[in-house]
Structure 1
C-alpha cells in the first residue's frame, strides 16, 4: 500500500469524527479539523450511493464556506447496511441497545464514502467491509453502553475502542469500519499523482 502520509502530509478534515482524525494521525498525517454542518437528509436506500453523496455534500459545504484554501480537504461519511436498512447514529441509549441487540451473532455491512479536494481536483470513493458480531448477552451489551462509546457512532459501536470486544471478525479494510477506507484512498491518491 502506498505511504499515505507521503502523499498527504497535511489535510483539512471536514469532520467531527475523533476516530477519523486519530486514524490519520496514526498514519503520520497532520490533521486540521474543521467540521461542516451539511444537510444529511436523503431519500436513497443504496448505502454506497448514500455515503458517496453525503461525503461529496460535506465537501461542497466546506468549499462554500471557504472559497480559498490551499491544503487538501477530506470529507467522509459512514453508514451500516443491515437486513435491508440503513443504520446511522443512535439518538439515545435505548436505540443504541436496540441496534446492538439486532447485530447479535450476525454480520452487517459497513459502508464508508469519502471526497477529497486534492491538487485542484476532486477524488471520491466508497468501500464496504463486513463486520461479524459475537454472540452477546444482555449484560455485555449493557456494560458496553456504559462506556458511552455508542454516542455519535454509526451502528452504536466503535471498532477502534472497546467496541472491538463485540466483534468476532472483520472482512475488508478496518479503516472502512472506522470511517475512512485508507487502502482505497492511498491507491487512488497514488494513481492521481502518476
Structure 2
C-alpha cells in the first residue's frame, strides 16, 4: 500500500516503527493536554488521546493527507500508569508490576477534515519478580524516564518480561498490523 500520511508524534520509536511499513510520512509533534479525566477508564483515555492528537494535527493545518495520532498507557488493576514523575514514582510503579501481569493499551487514530477513526490494541505483559537492585540499576540507565509505565520493552526493560500475549509492536508504541489495516479502512471510505 503506497500512500502518504502525517505522524502526529515526536516519538522516535513510533517513527522507527512506521518506517517498517510501506507508507510515506512526515512527522511533527502536537501539544495536547494529556490529563486523564476523573472516572475515565484507561481504554477510553488512551483512545481519546490518540483521537485528540490526530485531530490536533488536522487543526494545525495538516489537511492534505490523513493524520495518525497514537498513545500508549500501561494499566494494572484498571489504573493507568503514565511516565514516572521521578525516581520514587518509578520505584513504586515497577514494584507494582513486579511478578504481575499488566496490560499495555495502545490506541491509534486517523483523522482528516471530515472524520476520525480509531482502534485500541491491548497486550498482556507479564514481569518476573524484580529486585530493588535491578530497579536501581534500570533507573540509573536513564531509559525509564520517558516511558509509559516506566519501562521500554524494546530496550533494557525487556529483561523483566517473561511473557506477552498480543502485539509486541503495540507495547513499543505502534501496532503495525492494526495501523496498516485501519489506514486501509480509512482510505476506502
Q: Is the 8 A contact 1:48 1:127 kept in 2?
A: no
Flag the 1:26–1:161 CA change in 2: closer, same or farther, 3 A. farther
Unaligned stretches of 5+ in structure 1? 1-5
> How many matched pairs?
187
Counterpart for residue 3 of structure 1: none
Q: What's the secondary structure of 2:119's corresponding residue?
A: strand
Q: Distance in 2 between matches of 1:153 and 1:38?
A: 17
Counterpart for residue 22 of structure 1: 16
Q: Is the 8 A contact 1:45 1:85 kept in 2?
A: no
If the length of structure 1 is used for normalisation, what is the TM-score?
A: 0.86
Q: Distance in 1 between matches of 2:63 and 2:40?
A: 34
Name which of structure 1's ranges 174-183 and 20-29 shifts more when overlaid on structure 2. Answer: 20-29
Q: Distance in 1 between matches of 2:175 and 2:113?
A: 20
Counterpart for residue 43 of structure 1: 38
Deviations 1:112-142 (A, max 9, x none): 1111136964321111000100121111111
**Corresponding residue to 1:177 among 163, 167, 171:** 171
Counterpart for residue 125 of structure 1: 119
Q: Does 1:13 align with 2:7?
A: yes
Q: Is the 8 A contact 1:81 1:109 kept in 2?
A: yes
**Corresponding residue to 2:54 among 56, 59, 65:** 59
Q: Does 1:162 align with 2:168?
A: no
Q: Is the 8 A contact 2:123 2:166 kept in 1?
A: yes
Name which of structure 1's ranges 128-137 and 180-189 shifts more when overlaid on structure 2. Answer: 180-189
Flag the 1:179–1:44 CA change in 2: closer, same or farther, 3 A. farther
Q: What's the secondary structure of 1:26's corresponding residue?
A: coil
Q: Distance in 1 between matches of 2:186 and 2:78?
A: 35
Unaligned stretches of 5+ in structure 2? none
Counterpart for residue 95 of structure 2: 101
Q: Distance in 1 between matches of 2:39 and 2:106?
A: 15
Q: Is the 8 A contact 1:78 1:112 kept in 2?
A: yes
